[in-house]
Each structure stands twice: as C-alpha cells, then as structure tokens.
Amino acid sequence: MIPQVDVGMVAGSSTNALSFPRDLQVQGVEILGEGLSFETPFGPSPEFVHFTYAGKEVLTCRMHGWRQGVPRAQASQQVFWVFHEAGVKTVLAEGGVGSVNHLLEPRDIVIPHDYLDFSLRKGVSLDLPYLLTMRQPVCPDLRRVLAESVLENKPPRYLFTRGVYVCTDGRHFESPAEVQMFKQLGGDVIGQSLCPEVYLAREIGAHYASVQLVVNYAEGIIKDWEHTELADIFYNQAEMAGKILISALAKVPDDFSCSCRDLRKPTMLRDRLSEQTEA
Ligand SMILES: [Zn+2]
C-alpha cells in the first residue's frame, strides 16, 4: 500500500552521505516507515522513507532513486509513479552541480529557474494523457520556499535564486569543449538529475523545485577542481542540505500562486493515436 502524502522528496548527492532524514535528528520529524519499496509498471521502486514534519507527510528516496543495474530514466519513472499514486502535489529535490558560470564558487547554492536538457533520456514519461508545457518549468513559489530555507540554515557561501541548469546524461563529467559550449549557450551549472524529474513532476501535476550545491568547477572553468574538496563538500555539507529540505516543508504553502497546474493540458493526441493503432 502506497501511503497518501503531501510532498515527494528526491534526495540527491548533497544528502547521500546521510541516512536522511533520520541522521539529522531534527525535533518534530517522525519516521513512519523506512525501506519501503513498491511494485510499479516500471519495475520495483527504490526504497522510500515515509515521515512527517510540520504537518506534512512525506515520501523520500535516496540519490534520485538511481541504483546499480537500473537505468536512470527507469528509476525516475519508478519514483514519480509512486509519487503519482501517493497523490503528491509538491516535489522538492536536491543535488550537486559543477559551476559553468565563472561567478560561482564551490559551496555556493543555486536554485535553478530553467534548464537546458542535454541528457539522452528523452521521452521519459508515465504515459499520462497530458500535453506538458514547460513555460515556467520550476515552481516560483517553491523556489521562494527553498531560498528562505537556505538562508535560515546559514549557508557557507552565497545563494543564487536563479540559474540555468544544464542536464547531461553522465555518469562521466563533461569535457572542457562541452563545458565551453554550455557556457556559450547560457548554462550556469551542470548536473545530471533535473531532467527528466522536471517533466515527470509536470506530468503528475506537481509543483517542482530543487536546491543545488556547487561541488566543483566544471572543466576549463577557473581552475582544475580537486577531488579532496569535492569529497569534503560531499561529506561535510550533507547535514546543511538535509536541513534545508526539512525546513522547506514547514513553508510549503497550502495555496500556490504559481501557474504550474495550468501548464498541464489534456493531450489532443490520444484519440488519434488509438485510431491509428486500431487501424
Ligand atoms: Zn508551482
């Protein structure tokens, strides 16, 4: 049985060093279930933690649901299928990114407002009958919520409340020539998770936003990044990243003023497609 919850969380690399949210020991967090895996049409889901905080019920999974032997696109379908069944209308995510914009330093935090999708994971959907408009892909209300939570949790460096997220397929990082191309196209940071999550959130009619911790310079930007610094951020900023997500829960509004829900329309293709199949 998939519980009905208010918020779906997609934890990423910034909290991966933790057992989230248990290790944070935030007062008021009550764990209702751990290690919960559900059958989905896309295979067994990753394990979720079910918890409550500030009157919100939450399902959260680790590292975007990615795991050995499961293609990342399929893992995202499993996660968002579970969110859909759970009635999720708010999705909060976090991750780590490389900086393309030379103004950004490791440990800065970026809340992206848009993206350039260079992943190869195209056409990833739950096959729900909707036309998905990506006019305002990231929820402005949730971006505000995350920004307030970042400032409350004393970030080690600066917060940027907008930015263009370049999504690549991974698992490798990018070459200097690729980074130069992304820079010329207007990218600010590079990561591997925002797409297809942002599409799948729209497909299930959920508001979506993510908070991204800069963990390194992209290749050819400023200077060669150091693995020791990457590891230091990975292990030592995990608690802050986790607390940002937890304190955001208390700020998720009951009524949203954004247009996210209007950007999903009934598809006009379905009847035509089924006619073709029958023919
Ligand atoms: Zn919204």
Ligand 1 centre distance from Cα of residue 139 (Å): 4
Ligand 1 centre distance from Cα of residue 46 (Å): 26
Ligand 1 centre distance from Cα of residue 273 (Å): 30
SS3 (DSSP) at 26: coil
> What pTM did the predictor assign?
0.94
SS3 (DSSP) at 165: strand
Please tell me the number of Cα atoms within 13 Å of 185 on its side-chain side.
Answer: 18
Ligand 1 centre distance from Cα of residue 196 (Å): 17
The beta strands (E) that lie in the chain are given as 7-10, 30-36, 48-53, 56-61, 90-99, 109-110, 114-118, 130-132, 159-160, 164-168, 189-191, 207-217, 264-266
Ligand 1 centre distance from Cα of residue 147 (Å): 15
Give the total residue count for the chain.
Answer: 279
What's domain 7-278's superfamily in CATH? Nucleoside phosphorylase domain (3.40.50.1580)
Ligand 1 centre distance from Cα of residue 202 (Å): 10
Ligand 1 centre distance from Cα of residue 10 (Å): 17
Contact 210, 112 (CB under 8 A): yes
Q: Per residue of the chain (279 residues), what is the pLDDT tens digit?
A: 999 999 999 999 888 889 999 999 999 999 999 999 999 999 999 999 999 999 999 999 999 999 999 999 999 999 999 999 999 999 999 999 999 999 999 999 999 999 999 998 878 999 999 999 999 999 999 999 999 999 999 999 999 999 999 999 988 899 999 999 999 999 999 999 999 999 999 999 999 999 999 999 999 999 998 899 888 888 888 999 999 999 999 999 999 999 999 999 998 876 655 555 544
Backbone φ and ψ for 49, nearest 5 degrees, come out as -110, 135
How is the chain split into domains, by residue range?
7-278
Ligand 1 centre distance from Cα of residue 259 (Å): 6
Ligand 1 centre distance from Cα of residue 249 (Å): 15
Q: Indicate the pairing of strand 189-191 with strand 90-99.
A: antiparallel
